[in-house]
Structure 1
């Protein structure tokens, strides 16, 4: 994205401007705005490179175009354009290695506009033309910059005379040479078939937004009768949300890039295609509990599509899943975590296990029978085994209460009826303690505050910074690994006013 930079040595700069060494010396004294040289940027690929005086190629090429004496040697689209120029002639589309382009014959030669926003598109295509004889007589190649300029979408240009030098060009300048408004396609509708089919005066195409991979996965689940109906409804709901977002984002993109213009000067741009909104918006954001139930059943499934759908949900809306934050701790006999792992039950992997494992090698799969959380044992760094698991969102209470908290890699909750649990934590947070380099351990304080009141509480960390300041101060201290904080200690901290700082 954007203009790629290149540099010219003194000899190359003289060749570009058509001057001698003395002529170069004269330019520095004649023109106050003549670009100043710099030292060639450091390159890790050429560590023995000697210091050398170089010019930014884009800066020098642009200066030349705006200076009467050298305009004929400068950037083509930055030169002073002729007045009352004749309208250009559309030459149709041309396929390029970076996608289809539209060609226009103008008074300055053929302008090729490639509807692609990747880096070095203009340079790559201009270089290919120059090295292959430029049979189409293209004078400059334009590609999308990916931003908005004053007269329309911003462009990057590279002239076939100097293909390695890119510069930013104005959409309205190109439109002036062409003699008409130019089409622009939003990212999701920048399809080769649509660009190839466009002709001047064509009606704006109304096109269905293509489904992305995530939507395709969810639609497959929704159509698969081997899944529970609640899971299929949950997958449909999320797929509809993805489709709605993509249409809304595309419409917003069109509003930005195809705006009418500034003041009395209209932008010379029209959308080449717009999304089909016949059924927009699709129904989504249904009953939260029903959706959570559907995703819970998918998490327990063993079908590969359930795994793929769960990966989509983890990245898009993890709050719908019955799992908290991913946690990893070393396998250490004799520790508080060892007491917890002794109750784990070995099992066959489910979709939840597969998503938790990702591509890692796994030695064994487990489930916590008290919280239903998936757990796996896998090799960690240096070959040492680790436990990886989802933190629960809540704990089973059964009339018990929080007895103490142990600090060992994460927070561990000991209950009055003798059980040990990893502390609950929401998917987007993490539990820690000690000096946070200016940050505060408010997440841990908030979880403990809620569990002191109700051991079975479904923890909510949206406003964890509002946790009791005394508890936050307690967890902000540097405790030894394995330190145990009793219920009495925690309750006292919760009632303690914040420390003065």
Structure 2
């Protein structure tokens, strides 16, 4: 699951963020009772001996979110939290296409605000890293905001973490419904275990749902490889294969559960429209399991001394 990335800002940096004159933050702090609380830096004995002064710091994301919700500063605050977005009517957005990026597979959408890039990953600080990367190229390729997935459900759909290319180090929580409104159509969503470039790159508006197999994890692959040399010991081969099938079925169940939960929320009155863009195949699943517990017990007992390694002789 994602975690918000933010940086602390000193007084002059807060003033720069809010486009305040030097010293003007002091007056704002006296007037704005709801301004995010700051914290004085802790100095150790050596710093105090050198005569260093303890500066005040503020959580940059908190200030950025606060600015978005106040009329005087909303143009300098978090783009997707600007209250004006609720009242505006937007022209339908346009899907630009799939983007393979350094932070994972992404889809780009042209909107009235500019391009919104959605990263289909829950990697920590992915939105900030992508926004930072874009901010260093000419015009940020038109991208104003990068959104990544938080990993759970928010107020209107899959929870999002956003970072604007104007302030890439200040991530904040954004609403799926807000992005849906800007785009003007249902946004695609992929279950975590199918959130791969080879799957996401197949999607475009109006395309059929992709049917994609799960890629086996290392433990499952190791179990199937270990089962091969035990052909003369069917108990062991069956036990190892049964365990591998069990692991795979659990992962398929996880995909199906996520699809059901997010899909149902996307059709509920509280959620924004959601398009499940990929499913796991149903034919041939679940993989077969063995009901003979005695056979499995014997197989596990025989295989344990070898630790799943190839036997010396049959």
| Same fold? TM cut 0.5 | yes
Match of 1:121 among 123, 126, 132: 126
Taking the aligned partners of 2:240 and 2:145, their CA distance within structure 1 comes to: 48
Q: How far does residue 285 in structure 1 lie from its aligned partner after superposition?
A: 4.7
Does residue 68 of structure 1 match 2:101? no
Q: How far does residue 220 in structure 1 lie from its aligned partner after superposition?
A: 2.2
- 1:29-68 residue pairs with structure 2 within 5 A? 29-40=30-41, 51-68=54-71
Judged with a 3 Å threshold, the aligned counterparts in structure 2 of structure 1 residues 250 and 90 are, in CA distance, closer, same or farther, namely: same
- Show structure 1 runs of 5+ residues with no match: 307-347, 351-501
In the alignment, what sits opposite 1:317?
A: none
Larger Rg: 1
1:197-248 C-alpha deviation (Å, 9 max, x unpaired): 2101222112122211122122223343545111111112111111111111
Relative contact order: is structure 1 or structure 2 higher (C-alpha 8 Å, sep ≥ 6)?
A: 2
Match of 1:295 among 288, 300, 311: 300
Query: Do the aligned residues in 1 keep the contact of 2:35 with 2:66 (CA within 8 Å)?
Result: yes
Give TM-score scaled by structure 1 length.
Answer: 0.57
In the alignment, what sits opposite 2:7?
A: 6
Judged with a 3 Å threshold, the aligned counterparts in structure 2 of structure 1 residues 95 and 67 are, in CA distance, closer, same or farther, namely: same
Match of 2:94 among 89, 98, 101: 89
Taking the aligned partners of 1:271 and 1:208, their CA distance within structure 2 comes to: 15
Q: How far does residue 92 in structure 1 lie from its aligned partner after superposition?
A: 0.5
Give TM-score scaled by structure 2 length.
Answer: 0.89
- Show structure 2 runs of 5+ residues with no match: none
Judged with a 3 Å threshold, the aligned counterparts in structure 2 of structure 1 residues 188 and 51 are, in CA distance, closer, same or farther, namely: same
Q: How far does residue 66 in structure 1 lie from its aligned partner after superposition?
A: 0.7
Q: 3-state DSSP class of the match of 1:102?
A: strand
Q: 3-state DSSP class of the match of 2:242?
A: helix
1:306-353 C-alpha deviation (Å, 9 max, x unpaired): 7xxxxxxxxxxxxxxxxxxxxxxxxxxxxxxxxxxxxxxxxx9x9xxx
Q: How far does residue 302 in structure 1 lie from its aligned partner after superposition?
A: 7.9
Q: 3-state DSSP class of the match of 1:77?
A: helix
- 1:108-147 residue pairs with structure 2 within 5 A? 108-147=113-152
How many equivalent pairs are there? 306
In the alignment, what sits opposite 2:207?
A: 202
Taking the aligned partners of 2:81 and 2:224, their CA distance within structure 1 comes to: 49
Query: Do the aligned residues in 2 keep the contact of 1:93 with 1:103 (CA within 8 Å)?
Result: yes
- 1:49-448 residue pairs with structure 2 within 5 A? 51-80=54-83, 81=85, 82-224=87-229, 226-261=231-266, 264-301=269-306, 304-305=309-310
Q: CA RMSD in A?
A: 2.5
Taking the aligned partners of 2:30 and 2:163, their CA distance within structure 1 comes to: 29
Judged with a 3 Å threshold, the aligned counterparts in structure 2 of structure 1 residues 114 and 40 are, in CA distance, closer, same or farther, namely: farther
Query: Do the aligned residues in 2 keep the contact of 1:258 with 1:267 (CA within 8 Å)?
Result: no
Taking the aligned partners of 2:56 and 2:202, their CA distance within structure 1 comes to: 49
Taking the aligned partners of 1:120 and 1:197, their CA distance within structure 2 comes to: 26
Q: How far does residue 256 in structure 1 lie from its aligned partner after superposition?
A: 2.4
Judged with a 3 Å threshold, the aligned counterparts in structure 2 of structure 1 residues 23 and 227 are, in CA distance, closer, same or farther, namely: farther
Judged with a 3 Å threshold, the aligned counterparts in structure 2 of structure 1 residues 95 and 17 are, in CA distance, closer, same or farther, namely: same
Higher helix share: 2
Q: How far does residue 266 in structure 1 lie from its aligned partner after superposition?
A: 3.7
Deviates more, 1:3-12 or 1:220-229: 220-229
1:431-462 C-alpha deviation (Å, 9 max, x unpaired): xxxxxxxxxxxxxxxxxxxxxxxxxxxxxxxx
Q: 3-state DSSP class of the match of 1:90?
A: strand
